[in-house]
């Protein structure tokens, strides 16, 4: 991450990472641009445990697809978002949502992540209870398992759809272009 002096008398400093920029003012930091979660995560020193909720949505199966994620701590929502991922099946979108949630949690420096999802397929495949026969999904399961090595501990639990409403809503908002 590149940190430099501010451009005006009111800016304390600026930082750049990827396509995002953070600008520090007295009492606050504003982060904007492409993928701002990664830069915000680098700037914060959270550690501890996060609860990660994720969802994937696809219209057409396969069809236009998007993901949504929410990271929570005892202090409240740390990060949430949704983004389009192109064309995918619903199961692939679910895995992409998991991967995005894990990337953001790792960027924030959490040591422990408790993952919650309404996708029984992803939960059981990630735990190793079900085989992952589809090569595309197998590749994403391997990527998720690689990301999980960045945490001291993790768990994944299947939850009812009602408990995953926020992540579902963010995925659908992204899909609808809102």
Over its C-alpha atoms, the chain yields an Rg (Å, rounded) of 17
Q: Which pLDDT value is given to residue 103? A: 95
Q: Which pLDDT value is given to residue 44? A: 65
Domain regions of the chain by residue span: 2-43, 49-176
Residue-wise pLDDT for 13-71, tens only, equals 888 877 888 898 988 888 888 777 767 766 665 568 999 999 999 999 899 999 999 99
Please, what CATH class does the domain formed by 49-176 belong to? alpha beta
> 95 near 74, Cβ under 8 Å?
no
Q: Which residues contact 81 (CB under 8 A, 6 or more apart)?
A: 37, 68, 69, 104, 170
Asked whether the predicted pLDDT for residue 79 surpasses 70, the reply is: yes
Asked whether the predicted pLDDT for residue 99 surpasses 70, the reply is: yes
Q: How far apart are CA 45 and CA 108, in angstroms?
A: 7
Percent of the chain with pLDDT over 90: 66
């Amino acid at each position: 991450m590149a940190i430099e002096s501010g451009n005006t008398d009111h800016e304390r400093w600026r930082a750049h990472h990827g396509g995002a920029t953070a600008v520090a003012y007295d009492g606050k930091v504003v982060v904007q641009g492409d993928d701002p979660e990664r830069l915000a995560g680098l700037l914060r020193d959270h550690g501890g445990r996060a609860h990660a909720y994720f969802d994937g949505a696809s219209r057409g199966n396969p069809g236009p697809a998007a993901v949504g994620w929410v990271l929570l701590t005892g202090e409240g929502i740390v990060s949430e978002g949704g983004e389009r991922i192109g064309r995918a099946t619903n199961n692939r979108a679910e895995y992409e949502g998991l991967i995005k949630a894990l990337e953001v949690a790792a960027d924030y420096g959490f040591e422990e992540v408790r993952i919650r999802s309404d996708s029984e397929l992803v939960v059981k495949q990630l735990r190793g209870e079900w085989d992952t026969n589809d090569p595309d999904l197998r590749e994403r399961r391997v990527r998720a398992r690689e990301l999980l090595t960045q945490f001291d501990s993790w768990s994944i639990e299947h939850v009812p759809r009602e408990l995953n409403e926020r992540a579902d809503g963010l995925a659908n908002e992204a899909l609808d272009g809102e």
